A and B are shown apart, each in its own frame.
Chain A
Amino acid sequence: MTPLQICLLISALLFAIGFAGAVTRRHAILALVGIELMLNAANLNFIAFWRYGAHPEALTGVLFVIFSIAIAAAEAAVGLALVIAIYRHYKTSNLDEVKELKG
């Protein structure tokens, strides 16, 4: 097994865990945690393919991941703000109960 394959396996595992968390958790913040895990699995893939790819000397993979993390941070901030707003409105953060679109 090459190191790339091991990385991809770990990444797939991480993605699966994140997906499972995002899909099954009722709490909005836990679902967000799941989504972050899936995002990081994707980041891990970027790193792995850059590190064991054709041009490891170019910093393309790292740069992409840094961007991705920044976006993830912004997304997490927006997501958390939404969760707080939803909680204030519905007095709950249970995703199953927040299915009405009208305010």
Chain B
Amino acid sequence: MIWIVKNLWLIPALPLFAAGIIAVNKQPARKLAAGLAIGSMALGFLLSLCAFAATLGHHGEGAFRETFSFNWIQFGGQWMSIGWVLDPLTAIMLVMVTFVGMLIFIFSVGYMAHDQNFMRFFNFLALFASGMLGVVIANNLFLLFVSWEIVGLTSYLLIGFWYHKPSAAAAAKKAFITTRIGDLGLLLGMVWLYAQTGTLNFYDHGHGCMEASALAGMVSKTICGGMMVSTAIGLLIFLGAVGKSGQVPLHVWLPDAMEGPTPVSALIHAATMVAAGVFLVARVHPLMAAGAAHVEHGAPVTTALTVVTWIGAITAIFAATIAVAQNDIKRILAYSTVSQLGYMMMGLGVGGVAVGMFHLITHAFFKALLFLGSGSVIHGCHEEQDVRKMGGLKKYMPITFVVYAIGMLALAGFPLFFSGFWSKDEILHHASHWSVSHVPFYLGCTGALFTAFYMTRQMGLVFFGKYRGHEESSHAEHDHSHSAHSSESHSHDPHESPAVMTVPLIILAGFAILLGVIGTPAWPWFDAYLNGELAELQIKFGNLAASAGLMGASALIVLTGITVGWLLYGKRQRKTAAEKDVLEAAQPAIYKLLENKYFIDEIYEATVIRFNAFAAWLCDFADKWIFGGAVLLVKYLTIGASWLYRLTDENVVNGGFDAGCGSIRGGGGILSRLHSGRVQTYLRIIGVALVALIIFLIWGRKA
């Protein structure tokens, strides 16, 4: 076993230690906090590179996979072991999470520079990274679940970082509770899996729950309706992923999570938390694919994967349409994240681990770039988040503009030069060959159209035209809250961000372009890497022709979206911030529907929340009258009994004692009267007694 496998635990442990040290440090040591957090991530990145290097160059007999497990706790006669696994999936995620995380940490130094709670922020960030890395290395569903919950907790803490804002506090609660619904499914799935296989280790030299023997056992059993146990467990685990990755119908928390600081949005929505759900599905992919009836183009088709595909496809189109009508720069990105996560799920469903993971990795880079870019924009525009009040930032923030444009083109899937094109195209390519249905493919294509459109709309509104922020009358307020750093530059013009913020952006932009290379159809290195095969440069005409048609179509879709977006929002700029949106003017009803996110929140409000409130009321009623009544009854019974006891005590027991004591005291009183202290009285008594004695003796003798 190579040393890196044994010491893989160091990667999540380093940020954990950093968080601990920051937490116990009482002095406001900003440099120490930031240094520790960034340093731990940088070291983690180096270790991840070592791990990554270890998994390279291993071809032939399947993918590289080394595990390290140890016994942890004992249940009855069984030992629960936990451990970690190093395989290509872990390695690529480790590299991505540590690298993107590190850049986000560095960016945060600039973004949070004026925040009072700088230390707390880095503490949470480090803890978050630690949880996420724990999820990634876990070779055990239990360890994964624990880390998963750390991620959930810290996401709550980070989204509610500005907890003095009611909306932030509410968003944090919403995120926590919504993901908890999914986690319940994950927990149930975990327990069921343990009951079925007796182990939670994924890979354990043939004994793990993701390995052939355990899977065969679960496939052979069925529950109601002929559903295989493996499918049921897979779906329960998928429920956890739905919650974490913001899939329909549990997506509602994700856009609200934008209340957190922007680096948090980048961390949660790009590199870590939402990726955790996709990663989980990738990790348990063998379980979901178990018992596949037939394999199409290397992708198994099972009920569980079909569900994953449909949920993903619906999410992809659903969120993409909502993003069209949003005006908050971060909310647009949030919905685009939901949409892209849908693509990843769809990729996992139709194409297998490599397809979904490829999009996850490329998306992590360009979405982190976009979020951090939006952070830079927000920072430069004095905390303004409404795209209608921006505009013309190209002139004020050239670096941000360039990197943002790269991120936008990558997300939109601009052909050939951007990573998003290749990863999305691979998903669509597999979707088009999916044997169950072609609808997800069409949904995906439509989603791609919308993605290109809303990203162009955002670019047009934010960076082109002329700056509309000056119209705002409430500048005094901004001035007030930003007097700290805008006092020297009195103009309210937006300004470019400092280097500590732009350098991470430039690095991310580089990766947003380059990463596409590792997964092109001509050189499917990523796919081969995950499957443990040797990637070959396949510039064969047949291969290219097969994918060229689809690539052309998808390029056409993207270009159409960008062109329409440009015509509506780039070329024809809105004059004022208050002006109606072009789409709103054309189709007010549809725009309203989209702007209000299909009224999902309202529907939940009317159904789930109302039901919940009713249930709470019912519980309250039962508590007050039924259980409360019982308690009251017991209370009065107790009071009555104790009253009875008191009576007995006072009258019988105490009476007896009192009577005894009274008679003794009375006797004492009588006797004490004899003892008057008058010597002459004693003498008198002695005299009388003497006479009486004499009389007694005389009379007694006579008798």
Binding site for B on A (CB under 8 A): 19, 22-25, 31, 95-96, 99-101
Contacts and interface: CB of A to CB of B under 8 A. Distances in A.
Interface string B670-695: 00000011111001100100000000
A19 B687 contact: yes
A22 B678 contact: no
A31 B677 contact: no
A31 to B, nearest CB: 7
A99 B680 contact: no
Given A19-B687, A23-B687, A95 B680 contact: yes
11 contacts: A19-B683, A22-B680, A23-B680, A23-B684, A25-B680, A31-B679, A31-B680, A95-B678, A95-B679, A96-B680, A99-B677
A86 to B, nearest CB: 11
B678 A99 contact: yes
A50 B693 CA distance: 26
Interface string B141-158: 000000000000000000
A99 B675 CA distance: 10
A99 B687 contact: no
A83 to B, nearest CB: 12
Contact of A96 (B678, B683, B684, B687): B678
A99 B677 CA distance: 4
Interface of B: 676-680, 683-684, 687
Contacts, number: 22
A22 B677 CA distance: 16
B358 to A, nearest CB: 107
Question: Shortest 4 CB-CB distances between A and B: which pairs?
Answer: A99-B677, A23-B684, A99-B678, A23-B683
Nearest to A96: B678
A24 B677 CA distance: 15
A17 B618 CA distance: 104
A24 B684 CA distance: 9
A19 B687 CA distance: 8
A95 B677 CA distance: 10
Contacts of B680: 22-25, 31, 95-96
Given A23-B680, A24-B680, A99-B677, 19 more contacts: A19-B683, A19-B687, A22-B680, A22-B683, A23-B683, A23-B684, A23-B687, A25-B680, A31-B679, A31-B680, A95-B678, A95-B679, A95-B680, A96-B678, A96-B680, A99-B676, A99-B678, A100-B677, A101-B677
Contacts of B687: 19, 23
A96 B679 CA distance: 8
A2 B615 CA distance: 124
B689 to A, nearest CB: 13
Contacts of B678: 95-96, 99
B679 to A, nearest CB: 6
Nearest to B682: A23
Contacts of B676: 99
Contacts of A25: 680
A19 B684 CA distance: 9
A53 to B, nearest CB: 22
Contacts of A96: 678, 680
A31 B682 CA distance: 13
